[in-house]
């Protein structure tokens, strides 16, 4: 009887731990003017909107998710960074509406957008993850690599995953890889809708659950 009670207690205690250990996540989406560029006759922003809408339908309901966008309101403004949806449970519909309303306009302050997202997730106190989708080179921050190192050093458990969407500039790729590598994240290149969807699914997939502890008495 004592064995059954101990096993049940261990099982119950393990359930909330998995949810608590999962980092809150913010999707950072490029809303700069270059997102009007086309792939196979379709604007990149339209492709991103469709892919993200599909992803959100299968995103874990118990995962806290938010949305930050840059370059979507003003031209030539490196401060044009906005958190449209704060990270929370059940935000998928709000994020889908916000993404579908984006009209690309401005520059590419992707590094500062990642920093702002990390801060909104209280990355110095809690686990935090950012997923950046960008199609171009940083046009505002002088050193994305240095910024990424600071985030890694000052965060409790901060990770930035980066997807380069239709990026051909080697310097831009190097910046994106550095943002990911310095924070322990992954970099993926996506040249079309299918590859973008696959990259987002791979990165957003919840981690494999740890084995359930069993107490034997």
pLDDT for position 21: 58
pLDDT for position 211: 55
pLDDT for position 212: 56
State pLDDT tens for residues 50-104: 999 999 988 888 889 999 999 999 999 999 999 999 999 999 999 999 999 999 9
pLDDT over 90 for what percent of the chain? Answer: 78
Q: Whole-angstrom Cα distance, residue 165 to residue 145? A: 19
pLDDT for position 12: 35
Task: Quickly state the pLDDT bin for 26 (edges 50, 70, 90).
Answer: very high
Question: Which residue do the tokens 């339209």 mark?
Answer: 46
Mean pLDDT is lowest, of 2-6, 32-36, 120-124, for 2-6
pLDDT for position 23: 82
Mean pLDDT is lowest, of 80-94, 140-154, 171-185, 200-214, for 200-214
Between 32 and 18, where is the model more confident? Answer: 32
pLDDT for position 10: 36
The answer, yes or no, to whether residue 143 has pLDDT greater than 90, is yes
Question: Could you tell me if 173 and 188 are in contact, meaning their C-beta atoms sit under 8 angstroms apart?
Answer: no
Q: Whole-angstrom Cα distance, residue 65 to residue 34? A: 26
pLDDT for position 208: 54
The answer, yes or no, to whether residue 19 has pLDDT greater than 60, is no
If you average pLDDT over every residue of the chain, what do you get? 87
- DSSP, collapsed to helix, strand or coil, labels residue 42 as strand
pLDDT for position 31: 97
pLDDT for position 61: 83
Task: Quickly state the pLDDT bin for 213 (edges 50, 70, 90).
Answer: low
Task: Quickly state the pLDDT bin for 16 (edges 50, 70, 90).
Answer: very low
Can you list the positions of beta strands (E) in the chain? 24-30, 38-39, 42-43, 65-70, 81-88, 127-134, 157-165, 187-190
């Amino acid at each position: 009887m004592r064995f059954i009670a101990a096993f049940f207690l261990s099982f119950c205690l393990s359930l909330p731990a998995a949810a608590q250990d999962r980092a809150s996540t913010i999707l950072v989406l490029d809303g700069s003017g270059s997102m009007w560029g086309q792939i196979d006759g379709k604007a990149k922003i339209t492709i991103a909107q469709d892919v993200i809408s599909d992803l959100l339908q299968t995103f874990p309901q118990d995962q806290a998710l938010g949305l930050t966008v840059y370059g979507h309101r003003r031209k030539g403004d490196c401060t044009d960074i906005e958190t449209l949806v704060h990270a929370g449970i059940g935000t998928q519909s709000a994020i889908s509406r916000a993404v579908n309303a984006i009209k690309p306009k401005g520059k590419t302050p992707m590094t500062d957008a990642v920093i702002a997202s990390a801060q909104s997730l209280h990355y110095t106190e809690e686990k935090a993850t950012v997923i950046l989708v960008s199609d171009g080179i940083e046009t505002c921050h002088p050193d994305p690599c240095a910024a990424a190192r600071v985030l890694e050093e000052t965060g409790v458990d901060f990770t930035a995953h980066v997807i380069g969407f239709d990026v051909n500039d080697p310097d831009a790729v190097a910046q994106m890889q550095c943002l990911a590598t310095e924070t322990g994240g992954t970099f993926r290149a996506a040249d079309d809708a299918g590859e973008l969807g696959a990259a987002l699914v791979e990165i957003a997939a919840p981690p494999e659950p740890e084995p359930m502890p069993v107490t034997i008495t």
